[in-house]
Amino acid sequence: MKKRIYSILKGTFLVSDDSFKNWRFIIFISLLAIIMIASSHSADKKVYEIARLKNEVKEIRSTFLEGRTKLMRLKMESNVISIMKQKGIKPSVIPPKKIKVTSKN
């Protein structure tokens, strides 16, 4: 057990006669580590993209709500009356009448 630990610390397992198996394993582990690092970077990019898109959705939603609120205020009867008053148009005092059209076939 003690010899194995010293062999690992000194690096003699890499230069011995049967070191080809060790090098294959080291290269395999290195490739796995590179793949794992690339995968984590890819996941991080996706997380940042999702966060950016969520912020963009919030901004667009707030702009939409602001526009809808503005439209509701413009459509209010009191606002329409005040704008028409400036143009010289007054609201009618006579209520509208319903017209029924019947066709004779």
Query: Full-prediction pTM beyond 0.85?
Result: no
* C-alpha span between 71 and 81 (Å, rounded): 15
The answer to whether the beta carbons of residues 7 and 13 sit under 8 Å apart is: yes
pLDDT at site 43: 97
DSSP three-state, residue 31: helix
Per-residue pLDDT at 98 exceeds 80:
yes
The residue whose two tokens read 């966060």 is: 51
The answer to whether the beta carbons of residues 59 and 66 sit under 8 Å apart is: no
Residue 49 lies in a domain: yes
Number of domains, the chain: 1
Per-residue pLDDT at 32 exceeds 90:
yes
Residue 10 lies in a domain: yes
Residue 6 lies in a domain: yes
The answer to whether the beta carbons of residues 47 and 41 sit under 8 Å apart is: no
Cα radius of gyration (the chain): 39
Residue 91 lies in a domain: no
Per the structure, the complete domain to which residue 26 belongs is given by 2-86
Residue 16 lies in a domain: yes
